[in-house]
């Protein structure tokens, strides 16, 4: 069976994990700080804060942005539900912006239609790994609304605004280290930011909301009167720590990020050549001149929509090729219908996209022979064999 996605691990990765198991630290320790430093350097920002998952990273980022009950957040209709759930965790109402049919990303124009005076944070998603321009979004929302880039698909990509995660126009960017993503720590996530105060809030949220720095105590006399163990829980935080075991794997993988992204781009190029000119089959949007697509996903789009898509999905499966649909518009899920009153049809372009999208296998170790098999089955199924 050819899966739709798969991690790439090698002997160095296994040795890095084994080395941590030989040492004294298992949970958050020197491997986590080393990994954070390496991510910050890579993205060209002063701060990176690691988490137990990309979802935890999103939750912490919207907390650090000051989102709370009664506020609203806006994200893309076409994303993994975690991009919206993070607002709901904090008692905020998630709103959804439609996608642009040319990029499958949100834009300043589609976000504008979803903005209200209650919106405290917007969460643009670099869908499939194609970097979305952030500067026009900053111009739209102004300095008082936080921008948290959901860059889970786009680590290793860049645009005219710089490396994804460099936060040139955003307050924070989050990455996921799930095995389907560009690099993995098995489970894990990380937030990058240029803002020292936000980095501090992220770290506190990750550790139960507890503060140990006497300079930041609400009751500074506590340290003197009670003793050096004194610390304060100032917020309702969580245990969202990454372990040193996971961080060692993430750090080892980070060294291969450029190779992984280059291999994904090679897969995309082969698909574009092999699938070119098939009647009724659209190929994914390409980046402009200065940008590098990270190709977390290679999504084809069937113009005839749902019935043909199901046929193609099944034909590929019969041929031992697994594909996926990314994503059902988030507002269609029963939770979003019952908790927030949303339903099908909210975002017309997202609906059109969803009706025909299919993610083909795309990962660094996919061989040219396997890929040619995928191309052959797609061609046959589309009546182009």
* Helical ranges in 230-365 per DSSP H: 244-254, 257-274, 306-318, 334-340, 348-356
Toward ligand PLP, which CB reaches closer, 28 or 176?
A: 176
Taking the complex as a whole, how short is the minimal distance between the CB of residue 4 and ligand PLP, in angstroms?
Answer: 13
Q: Residue 280 in contact with residue 302, Cβ under 8 Å?
A: yes
Q: Is 150 in the site for ligand PLP (CB under 6 A)?
A: yes
Q: How buried is 385 (Cβ within 10 angstroms: 0-12 exposed, 13-18 middle, 19+ buried)? A: exposed
CA–CA dist 133, 77 (Å, integer): 17
Q: Is 189 in the site for ligand PLP (CB under 6 A)?
A: yes
Q: Among residue numbers 271 through 330, which ones bind ligand PLP (CB under 6 A)?
A: none
Q: Is 176 in the site for ligand PLP (CB under 6 A)?
A: yes
User: Angle 244-254/30-43 helices, nearest 10 degrees?
Assistant: 30
Q: Is 54 in the site for ligand PLP (CB under 6 A)?
A: yes
CA–CA dist 334, 122 (Å, integer): 23
256 is catalytic: no
Q: Is 55 in the site for ligand PLP (CB under 6 A)?
A: yes
Toward ligand PLP, which CB reaches closer, 126 or 309?
A: 126
Toward ligand PLP, which CB reaches closer, 48 or 152?
A: 152
Segment interacting with ligand PLP (CB under 6 A) among 36-44, 80-88, 228-236, 253-261: 80-88
List 7, 8, 75, 79, residue binding ligand PLP (CB under 6 A): 79
Strands 172-176 and 189-193 come out as antiparallel
- Residue 195's SS3 state is coil
CA–CA dist 337, 153 (Å, integer): 26
Taking the complex as a whole, how short is the minimal distance between the CB of residue 12 and ligand PLP, in angstroms?
Answer: 22
CA–CA dist 382, 302 (Å, integer): 10
> What are the residues whose beta carbons fall under 8 Å from the beta carbon of 3, sequence distance 6 or more?
322, 361, 363
Toward ligand PLP, which CB reaches closer, 189 or 237?
A: 189
The token duo for 9 is 């691990």
List 20, 125, 155, 330, residue binding ligand PLP (CB under 6 A): 125
List 59, 178, 201, 264, residue binding ligand PLP (CB under 6 A): 178
Q: Is 152 in the site for ligand PLP (CB under 6 A)?
A: yes
Taking the complex as a whole, how short is the minimal distance between the CB of residue 213 and ligand PLP, in angstroms?
Answer: 28
Q: Is 53 in the site for ligand PLP (CB under 6 A)?
A: yes
CA–CA dist 344, 242 (Å, integer): 37
Q: Which residues are catalytic?
A: 181
Q: Which residues bind ligand PLP (CB under 6 A)?
A: 53-55, 79-80, 82-83, 125, 150, 152-153, 176, 178, 189
């Amino acid at each position: 069976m050819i899966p739709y996605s798969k991690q790439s691990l090698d002997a160095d990765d296994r040795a890095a994990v084994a080395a941590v198991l030989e040492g004294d630290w298992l949970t958050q320790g020197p491997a986590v700080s080393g990994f954070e430093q390496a991510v910050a350097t890579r993205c060209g920002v002063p701060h990176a804060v690691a988490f137990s998952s990309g979802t935890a990273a999103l939750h912490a980022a919207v907390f650090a942005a000051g989102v709370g009950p009664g506020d609203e957040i806006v994200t893309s209709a076409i994303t993994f539900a975690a991009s919206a759930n993070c607002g709901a965790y904090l008692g905020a109402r998630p709103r959804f912006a439609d996608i642009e049919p040319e990029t499958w990303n949100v834009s300043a124009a589609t976000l504008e239609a979803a903005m209200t005076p209650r919106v405290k944070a917007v969460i643009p998603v670099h869908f499939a790994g194609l970097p979305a321009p952030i500067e026009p979004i900053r111009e739209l929302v102004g300095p008082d609304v936080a921008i948290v880039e959901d860059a889970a698909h786009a680590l290793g990509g860049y645009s005219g605004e710089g490396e994804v995660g460099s936060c040139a126009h955003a307050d924070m960017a989050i990455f996921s280290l799930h095995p389907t993503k560009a690099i993995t720590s098995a489970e894990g996530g990380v937030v990058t930011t240029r803002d020292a105060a936000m980095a501090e809030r992220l770290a506190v949220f990750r550790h139960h909301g507890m503060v140990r720095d006497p300079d930041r105590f609400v009751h500074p006399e506590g340290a003197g009167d009670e003793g050096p163990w004194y610390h304060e829980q100032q917020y309702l935080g969580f245990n969202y720590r990454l372990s040193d075991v996971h961080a060692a794997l993430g750090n080892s993988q980070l060294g291969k990020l450029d190779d992984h992204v280059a291999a994904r781009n090679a897969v995309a190029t082969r698909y574009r050549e092999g699938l070119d000119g098939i009647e009724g089959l659209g190929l994914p949007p390409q980046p402009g001149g200065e940008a590098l697509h990270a190709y977390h996903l290679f999504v084809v789009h069937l113009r005839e929509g749902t019935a043909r898509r199901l046929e193609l999905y099944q034909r590929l499966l019969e041929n031992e090729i697994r594909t996926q649909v990314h994503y059902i518009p988030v507002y269609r899920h029963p939770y979003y219908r019952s908790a927030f009153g949303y339903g099908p049809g909210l975002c017309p372009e997202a609906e059109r996209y969803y009706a025909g999208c299919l993610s083909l296998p795309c990962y660094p170790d996919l061989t040219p022979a396997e890929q040619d098999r995928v191309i052959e089955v797609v061609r046959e199924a589309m009546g182009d064999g």
